[in-house]
Structure 1
Amino acid sequence: MPLRREPTLRQRRLGAEMRKMRERAGLGGSQLARELGLAPTQVTQMENGKIGVSAERLRTVAEACGCSNTPLIDALAEIAVERGKGWWEKYRGALSIDFLEIAELEASAHRISTWATTYIPGLQQTEAYAAAVFSRFAPSIPNHDLDARTAFRMQRQQEVRLRGAPYVSFIHEAALRMQFGGPRVLADQLASLNKDSLSGRLSVRVVPFDLDTFPGGGENIMFVEGPVPELATLQMDTAVGVMFFDSPAGLARHRAVFEHLDTVALAEAESREFIQSVEDEMRGKYA
């Protein structure tokens, strides 16, 4: 079987979870290979997502590692048997892998939470706002690339909403006021936020400037819950690109961030009033 050139995010995650099983059992790669009757290179390739793993092989690995976490094993077996391609595959080659992997992550989400400090989360951006966000890059990107990125972001929104996974969005006042495309674009974006909040499709909670503490770091983050707590993933936007985290310590730390946000952010009704006040202020700039 040829090695995969570019394992998908979930294929890599399956391999990473198998490596965690082995390490928790105190086994080296060569030791596990002997238990399974494989070459050590095959274990390495499985753990790197370079070769496929059947559900049967996954359960054999779990048994060899003494893993008795049945819900986790069952969830990993589901990943192992996945064969279909997602809607994002039509963009492969047209967009960077970062875009595709975010969509892949969202497609299996059981719950999504976002914390935005610099701009409105991608899953809630209007088309004009999204295009303005992408236009800020220097050097500027070609128009065809700009159009592809914007169209992809709009389809991400549609797909997530069709799946109906619970979604709560915490937005700092700084992100509500940061202008991309000017006050008119921002005002329309804020109106869209409140429309979504009223529709019940997602929960929008505002963290105002006058809060006496700033939860978490300064990056926009998305916390995606899987079918079991161990399969949660944190996605972070950084200056050097998109990053994904799944270490138990990192997940626990960011769960605590969202728990804190839930206690300090304005309630939904208060958040809508706050967003409306900023929208009115923006519309006053071009009235």
Structure 2
Amino acid sequence: MALRPNPTLRQRRLGTELRRMREQAGLGGSQLARELGIQPAQITQMESGKSGISVERLRTIAAVCMCTNQPLIDALADMASERTKGWWEEYRSTLTIDFLEVAELEGHTKRITFCNTVYIPGLLQTGTYASAVFTRLVPPLPPQEVETRTTFRLRRQELVRSGTTPLRAFVHEAALRMQFGGPVVLADQLASLLDDSERPGISVRVVPFAVDTFPGAGENLTYIEGPVPELDTVEMDVSQGALFFDSPANLAKHRIIFSSLDSTALTDEQSRDFIRSIMKEVKSTYA
């Protein structure tokens, strides 16, 4: 079987979990290879995501590594048996890999939680607002690139607008006031955010300036829950693109951050009132 030149994020994650399983058992790659009767290079290829793995071999590896976490093993088996490509693959030749990997994570999540300090979460943005966010990048993007990115972002929204994937958004007051495209665009965005907050499965919680402390370092974060907690992923937006974290220590840290947000943010109803008050202020600037 030919090796994958560019394994997807999900294929790489499966390999990462196999490596973790092996290391927790105290086995080296060569030791595991001997137990399986294969070449050490094949272990390296599986753990890098460059080669696939059958469900049978995965369960054999779990047994050799003395892994007794059956829910995790079953979830990894499901990943190993996947053959269907996601809709995001249509964009592989037109968008950077970060866009595809975020959509891939969202396409397999159990629940998504956002923490945004600069702009409204992408899955809740209007088309005009999203276009303004992409337009302000330096150096500027060509108009066609802005349109493609905006279309891709709106298509991602079908995931939560359908009500099949629960979404929680902790939005800092700064993100509610930051203008992309001017006050009219912002007012329309806030109105859309209010409408979305009333949809089944969507929760929007505001963190006002008045809150004493703000957990974390202030980056825009997304916590993507997998079928089992071990397969959760944290995505962080940075100027260079998206960073992904999945180590147990990083997941534990960010669970604490989101738990703190849950205890300090306004309630859903209080948040709607807060958003309405800001929308009223914004509208007064162009009345």
The TM-score, its normalising length taken from structure 1, stands at 0.98
The equivalences for 1:246-265 within 5 A come to: 246-265=246-265
Other-structure match for 1:8: 8
3-state SS of 1:63 partner: helix
Other-structure match for 1:87: 87
Contact between 1:237 and 1:243, CA under 8 Å: does it hold in 2? yes
**Shift in Å at residue 198 of structure 1?**
1.6
Matched, 1:233 2:233: yes
Q: Report the residue type matching 2:125 in the other structure.
A: Q
Matched, 1:32 2:32: yes
**Shift in Å at residue 213 of structure 1?**
0.3
Q: Report the residue type matching 1:154 in the other structure.
A: L
Other-structure match for 1:242: 242
The equivalences for 1:132-147 within 5 A come to: 132-147=132-147
Matched, 1:122 2:122: yes
1:191-215 CA-partner distances (Å, limit 9, x unpaired): 1111111223400000000101011
Task: Figure out how many residues of one structure are paired with residues of the other and give that number.
Answer: 287
The verdict on how the C-alpha distance between 1:97 and 1:260 changes in structure 2, with shifts beyond 3 A counting, is same
Provide the identity percentage: 61
**Shift in Å at residue 163 of structure 1?**
6.0
Other-structure match for 2:164: 164
1:144-188 CA-partner distances (Å, limit 9, x unpaired): 111100000000001333361111100000100111000110111
The verdict on how the C-alpha distance between 1:62 and 1:163 changes in structure 2, with shifts beyond 3 A counting, is farther
For structure 2, which runs of at least 5 residues remain unmatched after alignment? Answer: none
- Work out the CA distance in 2 between the residues paired with 1:162 and 1:199: 9
Contact between 2:160 and 2:167, CA under 8 Å: does it hold in 1? no
- Work out the CA distance in 2 between the residues paired with 1:235 and 1:164: 21
Q: Which runs of 4+ in 1 moved over 3 A?
A: none
1:35-69 CA-partner distances (Å, limit 9, x unpaired): 11111110000000000111111101111111010
3-state SS of 1:170 partner: strand
The equivalences for 1:95-110 within 5 A come to: 95-110=95-110
The TM-score, its normalising length taken from structure 2, stands at 0.98
Say what the alpha-carbon RMSD is for the aligned residues.
0.8
Contact between 1:22 and 1:28, CA under 8 Å: does it hold in 2? yes
- Work out the CA distance in 2 between the residues paired with 1:22 and 1:140: 46
